Structure 1
Amino acid sequence: MKRSSAGLVIALVALQLTPLPGAITGTVIKAGTAIQQPLRNARLELTGGSGPELVTRTDANGRFVFSNLEPGEYRLAVTCDGFIRQDFPKKIVPGRGQQAGNILFELDPAPTAAGSVLDSYGEPIANIVVEALRRSYDVRGNPRLTRAATAVTDDRGEYRIFWLDPGEYFFYAASPLPDSTEAQPVRVFLPTYSPGVSTPDDAKPLRLNIGREVRVDFRLQRAALWSVSGQTMNATTGRAVAATITATPPAEAPSLSRYRAQSSMTGPYPGLFSMPNVAPGSYILMAKSGSGDQEITGFQRIVLRPSAFVPPPAPSPPYTV
């Protein structure tokens, strides 16, 4: 009997020295309603502690639980289709064997943008790309437009962009890029910014508020496309170099460029490039050659005016980098 009692005491001491796992629980509901409306299938993301990110979803009652958590500091965020993402405002520290409960997320409905795209005769246009753009700034403080969301018009010319964050947006509509192998000249719908202007400098922002829908309609004009050609050369040595060339409206980030080309180092005239099917407008041509410490960059501004005539590719003037 004495040996049995000693073994029992040792087991109890060992159990008390082992940290018990904690838990985090809570509920996700829709904000601004008189009667509480739980949000089902909302995605909860838990980061921190000593392990990887944990993910769970709410049940039919909007409830969620993270169990078997090691002691530590955690951050919690929630996303749900049609609602604005929300982060819990402070770190959560579940104690040993304790539960951090009653966390309540009240999610606001996300703004929506919708509208129609018509041609000059008032007929709907299908397969037009509509983009919601936001203003940002590059490392030099210059304003740029960056893509936030995209939609494509249906056979009725209608589009809808869901789940935007509140704030100011610019809207842009354009035909998809045509096949570069198509014979010239090619005619598509002229890229247009709201409210019906052709350049981002003249575009006007629209404010989207929580839970609201803003309507943005477009009336597009047809225009012939241009082919931009040239040569990339090292401005110091005068020798041709292989480079990647992009054409971007001045107010847009280069990452948004719809037009790209690669200069070729083969053939009798190395460094030549051709960028077909470019819509009329003002562009900054940027050429990059090399990488890392060996990267060199050059810029050239061009203006392509609407015209029924599309000039053939020409190797001059050279665009040096």
Structure 2
Amino acid sequence: QSKTFVVTATKTGFAARAFGETPPAVPPSYIELKNGEKKEDIDIQLVPHNFITGTLLDEDGTPFAGALVEALRALYDNGQRKFVTAADSISDDRGQFRLFGLPPGQYFVTAFDPAYSRVGDQLGQLFYGPTFYPGTPFQDDAVRVTLDPGVPVQGLKFKLQIIRPARITGKLIVTGLQLLAGAVNIGPSRNSRSASFATSEADIKPDGVFQFANILAERYIIRARGEVERQGLSHFGLWTQPVEGVDISGVEIVLSKGALVSGRVTWDGKSNRPPADQSGIRVRAPLSDGSTFGDALTGTIGLDRSFFLRGVMAGRHYIRVEGLPEPWRLKQVLWRGADVTDIPLDLDYGQTYDGIDVILTDTYTTLSGLAAVNAGDLPQGYAVIAFPSNTLNWQPSSRFIKITYLDDHGRFMFRGLPPAEYFVALTRAADESDLASDALLDRLSQNAVTIWLREGDRKSISLQATAPKR
């Protein structure tokens, strides 16, 4: 019989850390031990801790005492941002707080009034959300706080906002047809793109009525998908609305028949046969804003290598393939003689788009390297971003933009970047939610290393962290 452990090291004056943990991307490693088994080399690198101080005010500018203030670290799961608490504090009678024990890295600072942790109304419990520094309920407007080694951040000041969570109720409508099944998805949205925050789905009654409860203040987009006949085309609709503490009812989402997208898949293998089991591989049509909700969950590859997407929402879509086993990757998408691999297709309701050729390859690039960080710094606090010199490919969900994090020894690796010229930059002030920011990429390009990757290249580079300002 075996048991599983997480090994954590703590020392006064140093930030606690678990074995295998690589903030912000990798959680601690589990160690499994059998009776009498011995494991060695469980090494944990500790760095001196740092702290954040500030003052919390109420909406009138009066110091707010007794609030829970937290430093949150962002983690990403399938491209969606989630938060874990790295440190917390209670504001004192002057509204002041101190968040300590923090390793170098990026943090979101939030405040919450515990008095609202157990409240509700006649319809059930209400889960209030926090206020993000610099004083906004909107996650997308939150400003990260960056801690450099030995350089605390002091004097933050922001106001606590208490906004009631809302309920959104509505109905899916399919004119003249009966709804057999459906799904409704809600997620934050801003500036015509899908935000990289967790989304949720509502339960739908047989008559198409749906409800979302405990919706925090944010700008939202609701996407809906419905089925009206078995093996038929899925229907789609959407609705957008900012939500700020007021229940919204009577939402009507009219569903329209999706587009039909079809084509063939070519396995252009140099040294590998196509996988024998292709049941888990699908051709998909994600929206250009990054959302994957905009197509029917079809697109499986047939014995004749054909695929059919039986329903795609109107809008701009890329053609992508999910579930590919190593070393297979998307090489090219052709339609009507044009290369549309990285050009979104404008699809409309009820239309047919056939003859799409999807070409897969087992040849891929590898870009690895070693980054030197400053003495006393933690390599895992740094992100490495590879992005193309061609700004036309600075798009949400671009194949040409990747992020990874340094390991304990400052090493990093990218696999499968498409052939192109790239900037490679080392930064502590960015995460996955920034990858669609032209301003960030332009700023990083000024001090980035430039490298060409051609098909099948295996290349290595060195990076150097910039010393923090003190």
Higher Cα Rg: structure 1 or 2?
A: 1
Q: Which has the higher contact order (CA 8 A, sep 6+)?
A: 1
Question: TM-score if structure 1 supplies the norm length?
Answer: 0.49
Question: TM-score if structure 2 supplies the norm length?
Answer: 0.37
